[in-house]
Amino acid sequence: MLVGYGANAVHPYLALETVKQWHTNGKTMRLMKTGKLKATTVSEAQDNYRNAVEAGMLKILSKIGISLLTSYAGAQIFEAMGLGEEVIDTSFKGTTSRIGGMDLEDIAAETLMMRPEVVDAKLKLINNGYYKPNPKLEYHANSGALAKMLHNAIGLDKTVNQDNRDIEEENDGVKPKNFANYEIFRKSLEEAPLCNIRDMLDFESDRPSIPITDVESAATIMKRFCTGAMSLGALSREAHETLAIAVNRVGGKSNSGEGGEDVIRGAPISNVDERGSSTTFPHLTGLKNGDFSPASPSSLYLGCVGITV
């Protein structure tokens, strides 16, 4: 963010000092001595931190389609959420903040709330579960428990893969989708605490609802469905092809992104057996003859410019 707001260089002195303190900590030294942690010098540990930060920045740049750091520096391609006008005008001039939020006094008060009591917390910062989910702390919409409920509902078992699936079992040993499990998933979402801005929104209208008979059919609406331009490589081959097949089935569009596609995806699948498997796509299940896996539209990547065709 500092670079995005115009910093030409960032010296993370506090982070480097934190790495130094971590390295000299007795527990860290014992882990390195027993081989449970790779032995490094303080300088090497700080280099590891620097490399990780640089790799993270490059990943962010690639995700937003920026090839050069100079194109990112000072671009201010941000939108603030939860920050009031005072904070924006003081520290983030020109940044959009549509819903307003905290002022400087609020931020100071929240910072003081996070200060640990030296004796009780033993000099450790209090973990409120903001970053790492903890079921007893702050609620996370994308929690592992909620994801598992959805997997159970749609019949997705991430422990079963191409290498260990049982072809003798129905559906290769994966439990089938279950509507009752979906109801559990839906109920969990309905009863979840307020977490996103959209959770605080509701529909208001000054006119009666349109009769369902006047609404377009589901088949017509689904033709306007499309997935984001997710490149092969950013997604696994399995995920990329599954999304394309699913959207093609409903008549929508699955953008290929800029990662390219295997040439075998150019023709409809015609060798699906009674178990929904194909020798052409052995890593997929639940297939049907006539499934079409190429993405439409497709993107060609030329230099730093993506051209959609």
Report pLDDT for 52: 95
Q: Is the pTM of this model over 0.75?
A: no
pLDDT in tens, 231-272: 777 778 888 888 889 898 988 888 777 666 788 888 899 999
Per-residue pLDDT at 142: 81
Report the phi/psi class of residue 199: left, alpha or beta, with left for phi > 0 and alpha for psi in -120 to 50: alpha
- The pLDDT assigned to 87 comes to 95
* Ranges under pLDDT 50 in the chain: 118-119, 304-309
Q: What is the pLDDT of residue 44?
A: 96
Residue 47, SS3?
helix
Say how far apart CA 48 and CA 174 lie, in whole Å: 40
What is the pLDDT at residue 173? 59
* Nearest-angstrom CA–CA distance, 167 and 173: 7
For position 309, what pLDDT does the model report?
A: 46
Encode burial over 265-281: b for 16+ CB neighbours within 10 A, e otherwise. beeebeebeeeebbebb
